[in-house]
């Protein structure tokens, strides 16, 4: 029984959550002529705790959405390189490689208040999308069989609960997804779940056009990061596996402030820095634990489907990509008039065909990252050898090359390089 029920509506698809995963799903579906109810529990623009780094993978879908120009012209910091430091303090800068035509595809660091709002407003502006902000999905509505999802119960800011019905419900409601929980998915294993904190600073010395990943001993196999942000600010944070946080009873905010104040690599750089935002933390459900992201009448995308890269912590690219595949399979489901679990499983299969290999490599790299001597070896050698820097740079665009880092031979070769 729904108290204070306002009205009942029927749509082709309900998309729960307006982050990159939900906004891409809604926009692609509307372009294909599907009617979409697009819900988010807050009003946009909104912040999302994040490193804000937009990778090439995100760009691929941003271009498909027709939003590249907009993203590249908003306040952001351009990324031309990635910097790594080893646990023993060596630092190497690796350039983003040039493409065959000699041009570079630089990445961006763009505050989520800005980038997510671009994706969100794009979806909201589509002809077939009905958007409700400040509207929180509270529960799913199941059909008579007790397992087919046929709608959602949502609560608006004034406390009114409403029922909405659709052929397919998409859970794009992030790391603490209500949709995932209501279809019975357990929370991630602490070994496949990362916690991260982030704050913005002004006055950090030597912030450049490189995103910096620092493999600090106290954070491994996670890392401490300093990313350039718009207006000369820096986006600073760190992330660790929940299993390690719990085992060693770590307070991530305290650890971050300790590194900034006392680590020889950062003490001087942060001497005149000022924190200009609170330190905020959030969850990263890692893709190293594959979750069932489909069922009778529903799909999950982005963090709700646990798609964050287990080595880099990047999740926007996979969220946008999953939105693309979800919309494709949903369109096909309408053409076949089949919204069964069996049909919708094609989404899971296609998504993992695309992401699986890369996620496996990243998971191996995360596990190798525990071995401090390997990071000291690779980063130390790379800081001295242009050939090794070039090899690593090539791996940014070549998955086969990246596989090398998970092979013992790679590290043996390093010893003699
Ligand atoms: C500290 C930190 C740093 C990170 N750094 C990076 C990075 O640099 N680059 C990168 O690519 N990724 C990064 N990530 C990961 C990235 O933030 C996520 O993977 C990405 O936001 C996933 O997008 P999404 O659309 O699935 O979910 P979200 O962006 O979380 O969006 C979910 C949306 O659903 C809404 N919602 C939630 N519950 C409900 C509900 N019940 N009803 C209605 N709406 C609801 C929320 O308001 C939100 O707008 C980082 C994550 C963290 C925590």
Question: Consecutive sets of 10 residues in the chain, 417 residues long: mean pLDDT of each?
Answer: 50 98 98 98 98 92 96 93 92 84 81 98 98 98 96 96 97 98 95 97 97 93 95 96 96 98 97 98 97 98 97 95 98 98 98 94 85 84 82 68 71 65
CA of 174 to the centre of ligand 1 (A): 5
CA of 37 to the centre of ligand 1 (A): 19
The sign of the CA dihedral 148, 146, 173, 300 is negative
Task: Give the separation between CA 98 and CA 102, rounded to whole angstroms.
Answer: 5
CA of 137 to the centre of ligand 1 (A): 16
Alpha helical stretches, state H, 250-340: 252-262, 316-336
CA of 10 to the centre of ligand 1 (A): 27
Task: Give the separation between CA 329 and CA 321, rounded to whole angstroms.
Answer: 13
Helix 20-31 with 112-124: angle, nearest 10 deg: 20
Query: In this predicted structure, what is the pLDDT of residue 399?
Result: 64
> Does 48 contact ligand 1 (Cβ within 6 A)?
yes
> Does 174 contact ligand 1 (Cβ within 6 A)?
yes
> Does 112 contact ligand 1 (Cβ within 6 A)?
no
**Number of helices followed by number of strands (H, E) in the chain:** 13, 19
Domain assignment of residue 387, yes or no: no
Enclosing domain of residue 325 = 8-68+111-188+287-364
Contact, 371 vs 379, CB < 8 A? no
Domain assignment of residue 276, yes or no: yes
Same domain, 43 and 165: yes
Task: Give the separation between CA 53 and CA 109, rounded to whole angstroms.
Answer: 4
Contact, 212 vs 226, CB < 8 A? yes
Residue closest via CA to ligand 1's atom 53 equals: 282
Number of domains making up the chain: 2
CB proximity list for 375: less than 8 A, separation 6 or greater:
86, 87, 215, 220, 369
Same domain, 197 and 303: no
CA of 228 to the centre of ligand 1 (A): 20
- The predicted model scores a pTM of 0.94
> Which tokens in the block code for residue 384?
């001295």
Same domain, 279 and 299: no
Ligand 1, pocket-test mutation among 14, 43, 51, most atoms within 8 A of CB: 51
Contact, 318 vs 57, CB < 8 A? yes
Distances (CA, A) of 52 to 77, 234, 280, 362: 10, 11, 14, 20
> Does 313 contact ligand 1 (Cβ within 6 A)?
yes
Query: In this predicted structure, what is the pLDDT of residue 414?
Result: 66
Last residue of a domain, one of 254, 283, 312: 283
Same domain, 174 and 277: no
CA of 411 to the centre of ligand 1 (A): 35
Instruction: Output the domain CATH number for residue 240.
Output: 3.30.9.10
Same domain, 204 and 245: yes
Task: Give the separation between CA 380 and CA 382, rounded to whole angstroms.
Answer: 5
Domain assignment of residue 104, yes or no: no
Same domain, 12 and 122: yes
Query: In this predicted structure, what is the pLDDT of residue 415?
Result: 63
CB proximity list for 252: less than 8 A, separation 6 or greater:
195, 196, 197, 238, 239, 240, 245, 281
Query: In this predicted structure, what is the pLDDT of residue 6?
Result: 47
Contact, 347 vs 354, CB < 8 A? no
Cα 13 to chain centroid distance, Å, stands at 23
Last residue of a domain, one of 348, 364, 380: 364
Residue closest via CA to ligand 1's atom 27 equals: 174
Query: In this predicted structure, what is the pLDDT of residue 398?
Result: 66
> Which tokens in the block code for residue 39?
């819900």
Ligand 1, pocket-test mutation among 26, 42, 50, 116, most atoms within 8 A of CB: 50
């Amino acid at each position: 029984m729904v108290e204070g029920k306002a009205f009942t509506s029927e749509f082709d698809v309900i998309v729960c959550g307006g982050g990159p995963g939900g906004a891409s799903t809604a926009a692609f579906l509307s372009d294909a002529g599907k009617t979409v109810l697009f819900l988010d529990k807050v009003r946009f623009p909104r912040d999302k705790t994040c490193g804000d780094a937009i990778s090439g993978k995100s760009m691929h879908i941003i271009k498909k959405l027709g939003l590249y120009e907009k993203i590249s012209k908003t306040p952001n910091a351009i990324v031309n390189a990635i910097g790594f430091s080893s646990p023993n303090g060596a630092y190497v800068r690796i350039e983003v490689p040039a493409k065959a035509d000699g041009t570079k595809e630089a990445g961006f660091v763009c505050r989520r208040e800005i980038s997510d709002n671009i994706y969100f407003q794009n979806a909201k502006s589509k002809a077939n999308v009905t958007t409700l902000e400040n509207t929180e999905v509270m529960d799913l509505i199941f059909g008579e069989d007790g397992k087919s999802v046929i709608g959602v119960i949502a609560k608006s800011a004034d406390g009114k609960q409403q029922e909405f019905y659709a052929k397919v419900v998409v859970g794009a409601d992030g790391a603490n997804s209500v949709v995932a929980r209501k279809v019975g998915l357990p929370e991630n294993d602490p070994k496949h779940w990362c916690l991260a904190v982030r704050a913005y600073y002004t006055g950090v010395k030597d912030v450049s056009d490189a995103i910096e990943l620092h493999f600090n001993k106290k954070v491994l196999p996670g890392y401490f990061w300093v990313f350039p942000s718009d207006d000369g600010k820096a986006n600073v944070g760190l992330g660790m596996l929940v299993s390690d946080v719990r085992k060693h009873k770590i307070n991530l905010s305290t650890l971050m402030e300790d590194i900034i104040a006392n680590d020889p690599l950062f003490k001087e750089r942060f001497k005149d820095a000022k924190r200009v935002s609170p330190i905020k933390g959030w969850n990263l459900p890692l893709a190293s634990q594959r979750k069932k992201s489909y069922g009778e009448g529903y799909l999950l995308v982005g963090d709700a489907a646990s798609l964050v890269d287990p080595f880099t912590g990047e999740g926007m690219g996979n969220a946008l990509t999953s939105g693309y595949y979800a919309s494709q399979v949903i369109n096909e489901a309408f053409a076949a008039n089949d919204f069964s679990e069996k049909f919708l499983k094609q989404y899971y299969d296609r998504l993992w065909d695309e992401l699986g290999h890369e996620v496996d490599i990243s998971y191996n790299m995360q596990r190798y990252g525990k071995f401090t001597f390997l990071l000291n070896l690779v980063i130390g050698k790379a800081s001295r050898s242009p050939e090794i820097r070039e090899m690593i740079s090539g791996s940014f665009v070549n998955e086969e090359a990246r596989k090398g880092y998970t092979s013992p031979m790679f590290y043996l070769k390093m010893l003699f390089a």
